[in-house]
Amino acid sequence: MIDVVETPLAGAYLISAKPFEDTRGAFSRLFCRTTFQRYQLTDTFPQQNLSTCVLKGTIRGLHYQVPPASEVKLLHCIRGAVYDVIVDMREDSPTYLGWHGTTLSADDFSSVYIPEGFAHGYQALEDDSAVIYHASAEYSPEHERCVRFDDPTVGIVWPVADIIASDKDRSAPLLKQQRKTT
Q: Annotated active-site positions, please?
A: 63, 133
Q: Which helix (H) or strand (E) holds 35?
A: helix 33-38
| Cβ pair 35, 4 in contact under 8 A | yes
CB 149 within 8 A of CB 158: yes
Report the C-alpha gap between 174 and 63 in whole angstroms. Answer: 13
Whole-angstrom Cα distance, residue 116 to residue 155? 21
Residue type, 31: F
